Amino acid sequence: MVEHRPLTAFLTHLVLILGVFAIALPVWITFVASTHDELRMNQAPLPLWPGEYFLANMKQTLFGSGLSGTEQAPVWLMLLNSLAMALMISTGKIAISLLSAFAIVYFKFPFRMGFFWMIFITLMLPVEVRILPTFEVVANLGMLNSYWGLSIPLIASATATFMFRQVFLTVPDELLESARIDGAGPLRFFFDILLPLSRTNIAALFVILFIFGWNQYLWPLLITTDTSMTTIVMSIKQMLEAAEQSPQWNIIMTTALLAMIPPVFVVIAMQKLFVQGLTETDK
């Protein structure tokens, strides 16, 4: 800061603190809702300060039989489903993007650029523009209601491929030459040299992709009909619908809290990698 006037400094911090409060407010309200019982949560005005039912709500949400009037899987199972989906999507994307970037950068072969453009095209075809036909493909392949169906169709990734391509291009040519003289073949070079050198990029990308995978909504909604395959993020919709008959807001909001804790925790705990991943992939 160029100025050193205490008043401006005070105002600066004041604005920022107000901003932080404004951003945090919805989550605070959610948290507060998860600490009261159903009775209290049905009286206006709603509380703004935590009560003492947090653990009870957690227990009921995680292991209880769900909202009355719905047929939902237990929340712990949804969390597991979400975790499996997020991990499969993120590791899958990273694995196949690493391989194709390696091929495109380090090999000269017919149709190389054709493949490159084919991967590029996926950038322009989000699920939202091909909902029905993609659903049909997954259904025909018998992948509905499976982890494979939840993850595989999402793991093609132009951004990840481009990012790894960028990373590989900055690796000096002499390392490859050196490795060739040392007798390393392509796969050996990939695993011994390239992968260790891309370690932080992989970690950064993993953070972004884990969040991406965890937060999937439309896709699981389309291809899971079996309640045992429900993910926690998509369950919110059914809960909100159920709330119109049985407004168990304490349970709904505890579920919402549980649905956001894992990705939020990842962002905060791995902030440096998260920022690196976000700026490197430009989304």
What count of residues does the chain have? 283
How far CA 152 is from CA of 5, 176, 205, in Å, comes to 57, 32, 18
Cis ω on the peptide bond leading into residue 126 (within 30° of 0)? no
Q: Which two tokens stand for residue 281?
A: 């992939």
Tell me the closest approach of the beta carbon of residue 219 to another protein, in angstroms.
10
- State yes or no: residue 121 binds another protein (CB under 8 A): yes
Stretch that binds another protein, among 14-22, 57-65, 67-75, 83-91 (CB under 8 A): 14-22
Q: Give, as ranges, the residues between 128 and 167 that touch another protein (CB under 8 A).
A: 128-134, 136-138, 141, 152-153, 155-157, 161
Q: Please tell me whether residue 71 binds another protein under the rule CB under 8 A.
A: no
CB of 54 to another protein, least distance (A): 17
Listed ranges 54-62, 67-75, 83-91, 264-272: which one lies at the site for another protein (CB under 8 A): 264-272
Query: Which range, of 61-69, 71-79, 83-91, 107-115, touches another protein by CB under 8 A?
Result: 107-115
Q: How far apart are CA 177 and CA 253, in angstroms?
A: 57
Binding map of another protein across residues 179-208, x = CB under 8 A, - = no contact? xxxxxx-xxx---xx--xx-x---------
Q: Report the residue from 104, 205, 223, 273 that binds another protein according to the rule CB under 8 A.
A: 104
Question: What residues numbered 22-51 form the site for another protein, per CB under 8 A?
Answer: 23-27, 29-30, 33, 41-46, 48
Does position 88 bind another protein by CB under 8 A?
no
CA–CA distance, 147 with 139 (Å, rounded to integer) = 13
Rounded CA-CA distance 127/143 in Å is: 16
Q: How many CA atoms lie within 13 A of 39 on its CB side?
A: 2
Classify residue 197 as exposed, middle or buried by CB count within 10 Å of its CB (0-12, 13-18, 19+). Answer: middle
